[in-house]
């Protein structure tokens, strides 16, 4: 017999996605797999309207990959931007900061709507690890909180050791010899967010590192023994550390290619193309963009550059004149998963994510 609202017989997992860059897609990939093997459990997926439109091409009651998934429903969370808002362009993470300021109240409001519609209170919060405030939400509801870290374990450990790293920077300023698992890293190898104690996004990462030990379990996009020393440190600091990766992204069957990237790649030789993309949030400074353009120009390899911005204004004119149209292609957006899976792509130039940190 079906349970009534708040009945322990009913399970309702509230999934709180971070709707920027590639965070929502791997979380949805994980949720789809769990939902498929637990059909009696309800899953409510919360993200921005723009993010949900990209993740759920078959509609908000689909599995996000075009398939039917009756126990998974998406809900839109307001992005916090006022009517008529246009990003200034001076701060690429400005939309993120606006969203985060409004996120706790907005998510709470939509969660109440989902609980009413589905007839069951949330019994678990499965969230992006960025949502440090979810610790309070889970505690107030007396339900488990399971944050998902979509990068690797080394980056996660650095954010949990931020205080120690800042102390070392203030004294030695060179290496991380005193932290097990991070001794091969130098200060210059670390993302600048670790040493920034003022800006909103670094503050979010710091708070995240402080509250993760409160989580019932922390899920990491890694695999068993990928980095034994780092993972041992994380297990000693967290109640439970779960490797669930690598989270392979599955592109939707009908992904837009309005700029003709795939037909262009079809004409290139196998493993000959350099694909360049720095994501939707972060971008190199002007002098680095110029250096990349010059390097591509000199290599003579064909290239595809997904360039967020005004290419004609920001790329060297001589580069555009010589390289594009003959052996290169610059587009404002590319179907990245399909591009990376194409036989013609032999190299990928990217920033590897703003919060990632790899061994030297």
Tokens of 357: 């940190």
DSSP letter, residue 258: T
E strand spans, 109-222? 124-128, 145-149, 218-220
CB 87 within 8 A of CB 93: no
Sheet bearing 345-349, strands edge to edge:
328-331, 303-306, 273-277, 345-349
128 is catalytic: yes
Instruction: Write down the pTM of the prediction.
Output: 0.77
- Go through the domains of the chain in sequence order and give each one's CATH number: 12-243 (3.40.50.2000), 261-349 (3.40.50.2000)
DSSP 55-95: H-TT-TTB-SSSSB-TTEEEEEE---PPTT----SS-TTHH
pLDDT, one tens digit for every residue, the chain (360 residues): 344 445 556 899 999 999 987 789 889 989 998 999 999 999 999 999 988 888 887 666 666 555 678 899 999 999 888 888 877 666 767 888 889 889 999 999 999 999 999 999 999 999 999 999 999 999 999 999 999 998 889 889 999 999 988 888 877 767 788 788 888 888 877 877 788 878 888 888 999 999 999 999 999 988 877 788 999 999 999 999 999 877 765 555 556 788 899 999 999 999 999 999 886 656 677 888 889 888 988 888 999 999 877 778 888 888 888 777 778 899 988 888 889 889 999 999 887 554 444 333
Among candidate residues 12, 79, 128, 342, the one labeled active-site is 128
Among candidate residues 12, 23, 159, 342, the one labeled active-site is 23
């Amino acid at each position: 017999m079906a349970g009534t609202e708040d009945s322990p017989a009913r399970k309702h997992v509230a999934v709180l996605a971070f709707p920027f860059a590639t965070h929502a897609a791997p979380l949805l990939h994980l949720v789809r797999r769990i939902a498929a093997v637990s059909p009696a459990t309800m899953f409510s997926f919360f993200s921005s309207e723009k993010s949900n439109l990209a993740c759920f091409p078959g509609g908000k009651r689909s599995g996000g990959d075009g398939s039917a998934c009756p126990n998974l429903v998406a809900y839109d969370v307001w992005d916090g931007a006022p009517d008529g808002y246009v990003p200034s362009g001076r701060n690429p993470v400005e939309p993120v900061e606006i969203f985060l300021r409004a996120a706790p109240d907005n998510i709470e409001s939509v969660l109440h709507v989902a609980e009413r519609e589905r007839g069951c209170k949330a019994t678990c919060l499965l969230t992006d690890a960025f949502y440090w405030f979810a610790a309070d939400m889970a505690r107030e509801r007396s339900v488990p909180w399971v944050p998902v870290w979509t990068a690797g374990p080394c980056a996660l450990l650095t954010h949990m050791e931020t205080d120690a790293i800042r102390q070392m920077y203030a004294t030695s300023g060179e290496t991380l010899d005193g932290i097990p698992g991070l001794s091969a890293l130098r200060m210059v190898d670390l993302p600048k967010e670790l040493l920034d104690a003022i800006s909103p996004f670094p503050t979010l990462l710091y708070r995240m590192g402080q509250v993760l030990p409160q989580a019932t379990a922390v899920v990491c996009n890694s695999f068993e023994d990928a980095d034994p020393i780092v993972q041992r440190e994380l297990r000693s600091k967290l109640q439970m550390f779960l490797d669930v990766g690598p989270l392979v992204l599955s592109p939707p069957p009908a992904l837009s290619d309005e700029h003709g990237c795939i037909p262009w790649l079809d004409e290139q030789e196998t493993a000959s193309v350099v694909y360049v993309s720095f994501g939707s949030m972060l971008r190199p400074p002007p002098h680095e963009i110029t250096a990349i353009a010059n390097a591509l120009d000199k290599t003579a390899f064909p290239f595809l550059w997904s360039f967020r911005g005004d290419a004609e204004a920001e790329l060297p004119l001589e580069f555009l004149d010589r390289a594009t149209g003959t052996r290169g292609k610059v587009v404002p957006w590319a179907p990245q998963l399909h591009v990376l899976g194409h036989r013609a792509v032999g190299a990928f130039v990217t920033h590897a994510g703003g919060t990632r940190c790899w061994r030297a």
